[in-house]
Amino acid sequence: MIYRRLIHYKIPKLIVIAITLTNITLLSSPNPSLAQLEQPKPNPLELPLEDPLLPNIPRPLTPFEKRKLRQELDQLNAQAQAQFDKGNIPAAFDIWYRELRVRRVLGRLEEIAALGRVGEIAWNNTLTQDVKIISKRLKTLQELSEKEDPLSPELLMALADAYEKLHALDDSLGIYKRVLNNARKAKDPIAEEKALKRLGELYLAKFDYPQAAPIYEELLDRAQARSNTLEEGVYLQILAEIYTRSLQPENATKIKEDLAENYLKTKKIQLIPALKISIGQDYEALNQPEMASKNYQEAYSLSWSLQLFGAAAEALTKLGKLYQTYKQDDYALQIYQNLIQVEQLSYNYYGLMRTYETIGEIYLAYKQYDVALEFFKQGLILAQSLNYKQDNFLSRIEQTNRKIRGEDEPEPPQVNPDVTNPNTLEEIPEINPDVTNPNTLEEIPEINPDLINPNTLEEIPEINPDLINPNTLEEIPEINPDLINPNPLYEIPQLDPDLINPNTLEEIPQLDRDWLKKGNLKNRKN
């Protein structure tokens, strides 16, 4: 008994000790999944620089060791590219990050170039996290370099190129501005012009036209000073695009006129008609119709001589619309007659159909209905062959025929925008918000609160208080007072006075009359 008591006494203590040790172990060894959540994945470019490709003891590498290391790093790059081509993107970037870590021992220029190469791959494949990691390393290198010494031109260009590959345009712009300032201080025109070109391209990439314009104006001046007509033409084209897109027609016309002269010098005459049309549009925007008309006519004449019928048709179309805008329809008709010839020569049937329609409308406005009808019919023939806008020409022909017959135009139905559906032009029925469901727009039936159950909204049947039990609301059956006992309301059975005992109201059993005749009644009583 003593031994058993000792066992029972010790077991609880052992259980407590075991539970305590278990709690300590759990507290000292947290859940691995929670630990992973609390500790983010380390930056692969900030890991310690330890690699089998490097000496065990940190020391400067000899030229031979550097050459061999470059070859091994190039092999790593090839391995990463092979993994990437197979679709193993995480494995590929693990190899690339190893290459980038080791590449830093070869100097910052080589590391920056490698960062730009790998960063471009990350950007092109929308690997946002990898782009951030590489961009952070680039900015760290820039900050370290600036603290040590002024950035060399080579290092600046390497940083600018790497930033550009990562599409960090603002960072790249900042670097190129410093390159430009250094080149101007050093009076290096070649480096200066290279920096200007890169700045201009970056501003255009950002659609920052106000900043790009003075850059290309300076490049244009440099090209004109050297009498370099080819470069002059390139910069004039870029400036013309800049001023057109930034809605500066006055500057655009000046640049485009210079560009037209450049095309003449470089014998690019076939490009002039389209340019003249563009100049005419700029003059229209400047409200100078005479200059616009002059450029459209020059564009037509030159394109006609060069048999550029598409440009000729465009010039005549814009010239005709210009005359119509200023209410000179007689001149516009002459232009459109020439346009018919051009459209026929270029087999532009859509353009020819539109021209017939425009001429018909002008004659219709002049009330020359017979002439207008002929042009509309010509347009209808083309519309039917092209299966395009046939209803439009049929409507025009019907309208013109009514004019010829002297009939009035049917008045279009008056549309009240407040009660008309703008899509179908059908009248919207008047809606009473008090009796209309706002969700279905259906009329809500009129409800009598005395006849409707407020919970179920169902109609309550009409109740006759004389026939309904007020407690159960059940119908009371109709009662015949002659057949109902007034005390318990039980129905009184119908009585036959010949068969009912008047004293007891019990039914007298039916007797066999033949049996009574034989004297049996007397015997029964006895």
Q: Could you report the per-residue pLDDT of 97-132, keeping only the tens digit for each?
A: 999 999 999 999 999 999 999 999 999 999 999 999
pLDDT at 355 over 50: yes
pLDDT of residue 390: 85
Which range among 50-59, 217-226, 321-330 shows the weakest confidence by mean pLDDT?
50-59
pLDDT of residue 290: 94
In this prediction, residues 17-33 reach a mean pLDDT of 41
pLDDT of residue 149: 75
**Encoded tokens for 147:** 């603290």
Q: Could you report the per-residue pLDDT of 445-478, keeping only the tens digit for each?
A: 665 666 666 666 666 666 666 666 666 666 666 6
Give Cα separations from 508 to 204, 491, 512, 517, 525 (angstroms).
125, 20, 12, 18, 15
Output 257 or 39, whichever has higher pLDDT.
Answer: 257
Query: 166: Cβ–Cβ under 8 A, 6 or more apart, which residues?
Result: 116, 119, 120, 122, 123, 131, 134, 135, 138
Output 127 or 22, whichever has higher pLDDT.
Answer: 127
Q: Could you report the per-residue pLDDT of 250-281, keeping only the tens digit for each?
A: 999 999 999 999 999 999 999 999 999 999 99
Burial 162-172 (b: 16+ CB within 10 A, else e): bbbbbebeebb
pLDDT at 1 over 90: no
84 touches 121 (CB < 8 A): yes
Output 507 or 298, whichever has higher pLDDT.
Answer: 298
Angle at which helices 89-103 and 128-148 cross, to 10°: 10
Radius of gyration for the chain, computed over Cα atoms and rounded to the nearest angstrom: 51
Q: Cα–Cα distance between 116 and 76 in angstroms, integer?
A: 16
pLDDT at 18 over 60: no
pLDDT band at 50 (very low <50, low <70, confident <90, very high): confident
Neighbouring-strand partners of residue 484: 491
pLDDT at 489 over 50: no
**Encoded tokens for 156:** 């600046």
Output 406 or 108, whichever has higher pLDDT.
Answer: 108
pLDDT of residue 152: 85
At 443, is the secondary structure helix, strand, or coil? strand
Q: Is the pTM of this model over 0.75?
A: no
At 367, is the secondary structure helix, strand, or coil? coil
Q: Cα–Cα distance between 184 and 186 in angstroms, integer?
A: 5
pLDDT band at 57 (very low <50, low <70, confident <90, very high): confident
pLDDT of residue 281: 95
pLDDT of residue 22: 41
pLDDT of residue 46: 86
Output 412 or 61, whichever has higher pLDDT.
Answer: 61
Across the chain, mean pLDDT equals: 81
pLDDT of residue 441: 61
Give Cα separations from 392 to 348, 354, 378, 383, 387 (angstroms).
19, 11, 13, 9, 12
pLDDT at 288 over 80: yes
At 498, is the secondary structure helix, strand, or coil? coil
pLDDT at 484 over 60: no
pLDDT of residue 458: 67
In this prediction, residues 160-179 reach a mean pLDDT of 92
Q: Could you report the per-residue pLDDT of 186-242, keeping only the tens digit for each?
A: 999 999 999 999 999 999 999 999 999 999 999 999 999 999 999 999 999 999 999
The full set of domains in the chain, from first to last, is 309-405 (1.25.40.10)
Q: Cα–Cα distance between 291 and 277 in angstroms, integer?
A: 11
pLDDT band at 147 (very low <50, low <70, confident <90, very high): confident
pLDDT at 508 over 60: no
In this prediction, residues 336-362 reach a mean pLDDT of 93
